[in-house]
Amino acid sequence: MSLPFSGPRRSRLSAAAQLILLLLVALAMLVPLLWLVSTSLKGPAEDIFTSPPALWPSQPSFEAYRRLFSDNPIGTYLLNSTIVSGLAVLANVLFCSLAAYPLARMNFRGRGLVLALVVATILIPFQVVMIPLYLLMVQIGLRNTLWALIIPQAATAFGIFLLRQSFLGVPVELEEAARCDGCTPVGEWWNVMIPAARADLITLAMFVFIGTWSDFLWPLVILDEPELYTLPLGLQQLASSFSLDWRLVAAGAVISILPVLVVFIGLQRYILPSAAGDAVKG
């Protein structure tokens, strides 16, 4: 005689409970985003502070988005953020992989010390180095330039450590085969390590893009000219210029979130569980 809720039936109930829990957590995470989109779509005549609050706009309108692009240099802010984030991603992928390869594969005196010093910099808050970095940018004439936003993000300790760990998981036989084919160390890095670490490279690119795209403090410190503002600074100007018109602010926030969603959705299919398999297939 079988007990109630035992065996396969109990397993199905457990899976259903987990699914319901995950759906509730996902809904809780999506509510702020849905509320943001709803606020941006509410028409000028609609009260956005009603009680109880209305999640769905009674008079949907794109007036806030029209005013956002017609009355504000939002296109310039988007272009600046795209340039800074794109170049920061490319620089990180290049420099972090170049630094991680010798730390993972080459034997030289002091390798462990170098790695420890690199990892230790992760513990240093950016606020500690912000003033020396600002003075350095002023001395080399990069203040009020987009390069002042790109160069500090060109390589990260997290990226070096992440790619080193990825390179350590690549079979040595792949490098030996490439060496037999006449590859130089640079050729091994490009033809073996880079394809093998594709998943971690894309993960690093996503982290750098999101961090650079949403950065507010450093652009606020280093930039004074509005035509160089990135999107977070532009949204801050938007809020103060229009006396907190929440429809415009919500529309600007939605516009700032969309590129991050596009990048994540577009790149997530390239993140594979097995990184070494790419190099084997290549």
Q: What residue ranges do the domains of the chain occupy?
A: 8-61, 72-281
Do residues 32 and 257 make contact, with C-beta atoms less than 8 angstroms apart?
Answer: no
pLDDT bucket at 217, cuts 50 / 70 / 90: very high
CATH of 72-281, one of 3.40.640.10, 1.10.150.130, 1.10.3720.10, 3.30.530.20: 1.10.3720.10
Helix axis angle, 74-105 to 157-168, nearest 10°: 50
Q: Determine the length of the chain.
A: 282
Residue at token pair 């310039």: 76
pLDDT over threshold 60, residue 221: yes
**What pLDDT does 243 receive?**
58
Q: How far apart are CA 232 and CA 209, in angstroms?
A: 14
Residue at token pair 């640079």: 186
**What pLDDT does 101 receive?**
93
**Model pTM?**
0.83
pLDDT bucket at 272, cuts 50 / 70 / 90: low
pLDDT over threshold 80, residue 205: yes
For residue 91, what are its two tokens? 């620089």
Do residues 224 and 144 make contact, with C-beta atoms less than 8 angstroms apart?
Answer: yes
Do residues 215 and 230 make contact, with C-beta atoms less than 8 angstroms apart?
Answer: yes
**What pLDDT does 147 receive?**
95
Burial 12-48 (b: 16+ CB within 10 A, else e): eeeeeeeeeeeeeeeeeeeeeeeebbbbbbbeeebee
Question: What is the torsion angle, in degrees rounded to the nearest 10, for the CA atoms of residue 223, residue 228, residue 231 and residue 236?
Answer: 50
In terms of Cα–Cα distance, which of 126, 272, 97, 117 is closest to 211? 126
pLDDT bucket at 25, cuts 50 / 70 / 90: very high
pLDDT tens profile 39-94: 888 877 777 777 676 777 777 888 888 888 888 888 899 999 999 999 999 999 99
The DSSP code for 42 is B
pLDDT tens profile 236-266: 877 665 557 788 888 888 999 999 888 888 8
Using DSSP's 3-state secondary structure scheme, residue 243 falls into coil
Average model confidence (pLDDT) across the chain? 85
**How far is C-alpha 47 from the geometric centre of its chain's CA atoms?**
35
